[in-house]
Amino acid sequence: MENFKLTIDLLPKGAWNNDFSKTLSKKDWDTLRFACYQKANHKCQICGYQTDELDAHEVWEFDLQHKTQTRKNIIAICSKCHGVKHFKNSVRLGFGKQAKEHFIKTNKCSEIDFINHLLEAKINYDERNKIYRWKIIANLEKFGGKNIEVKERNIPLIVNPYQEIEWNKINHSNIKKLFNITSSQDNFVVPPKIVSLEVDNYQGIITVTSLFTNKIEWYLDDNKIKTKYNVIGKFVTSLKLENLEGSQLSFVLTGNGGQTISKKFAILP
């Protein structure tokens, strides 16, 4: 990227929630962020804006070949610079225009420069999204975090047996091939119906959306591990697999009209 002092840092999906503000204890994270605030002396370390309301921004370097995510720095920056760093989030919240203007003002560049920089950031983002798991490398002592332990997240990979299914095109006869469906004796009440099933392999989350469902039960290696109930209407529920150890996962939907039982999801360490 061009040598701008304020850049757009689009974290790849596999690195979401890897930041120390989420993985460390509040006490340990406070130690790190207060250390960087003290170095900043109440000034944004990018644009120089003076304020007592600074944010701690974690600077990472990504190595595609070795699949490593290395902590390069923790800097104190103002909310405007932070909004540029996390540009996609600023756009989502309706502050994309303000973030663009702050980028151009801080870097003293043109709108074309901004567009080119954003395009390059998006290309890097797409390339890095090919990696599901990043190995974190960090020496926190150099950032004021002596004796703070870096913890690796344990998120297994999920082999989705429904990977190629287009749920909006599925009819009743196809559903019967995809799930083991048992009906109640009441012919006027239908069994639970799957509306969609999504697997997020970056964060290790399975999300099931269904109709006519009273509850969902999750089974890990045929042992029940979780039950969640539905009151009324569409039922949207998720299971997070972080720190879950096993080899096969399945679920059972139960409603007044019977049960819908899933195929097995393979769980890889």
pLDDT digits (tens, 9 = 90+) for 155-179: 999 999 999 899 988 887 788 889 9
Among 119, 143, 167, which residue terminates a domain? 143
**Above 80 in pLDDT, residue 115?**
yes
Among 90, 116, 143, which residue terminates a domain? 143
pLDDT value for 169 = 86
List 215's β-bridge partners, or say none: 229, 254
User: Same structural domain for residues 137 and 226?
Assistant: no
pLDDT tens digit string along 175-216? 888 999 998 877 778 899 999 999 999 999 999 999 999 999
Q: Whole-number mean pLDDT of the chain?
A: 94
121 belongs to a structural domain: yes
212 belongs to a structural domain: yes
Residue with tokens 């899933």: 262
Confidence of residue 2 (pLDDT cuts 50, 70, 90): low
User: How far is Cα 161 from Cα 206, in angstroms, rounded to an integer?
Assistant: 12
Query: Residue 259 maps to which CATH number?
Result: 2.60.40
User: How far is Cα 215 from Cα 257, in angstroms, rounded to an integer?
Assistant: 12
Residue with tokens 């490593």: 68
151 belongs to a structural domain: no
**Above 70 in pLDDT, residue 1?**
no
Residue 103's domain comprises: 13-143
pLDDT tens digit string along 118-153? 999 999 999 999 999 999 999 999 889 888 988 888
User: Same structural domain for residues 137 and 17?
Assistant: yes
**Above 90 in pLDDT, residue 261?**
yes
pLDDT tens digit string along 8-27? 999 999 999 999 999 999 99
**Above 90 in pLDDT, residue 64?**
yes
User: Same structural domain for residues 64 and 119?
Assistant: yes
User: Same structural domain for residues 136 and 211?
Assistant: no
Question: Beta 258-261 vs 235-240: how paired, if at all?
Answer: unpaired
pLDDT value for 168 = 86
pLDDT value for 188 = 78
104 belongs to a structural domain: yes
Domain count, the chain: 2
pLDDT tens digit string along 214-251? 999 999 999 999 999 998 899 999 999 999 999 999 99
Question: Do you know the residue count of the chain?
Answer: 269
Average pLDDT over residues 246-263: 96
User: How far is Cα 180 from Cα 21, in angstroms, rounded to an integer?
Assistant: 43
pLDDT value for 3 = 84
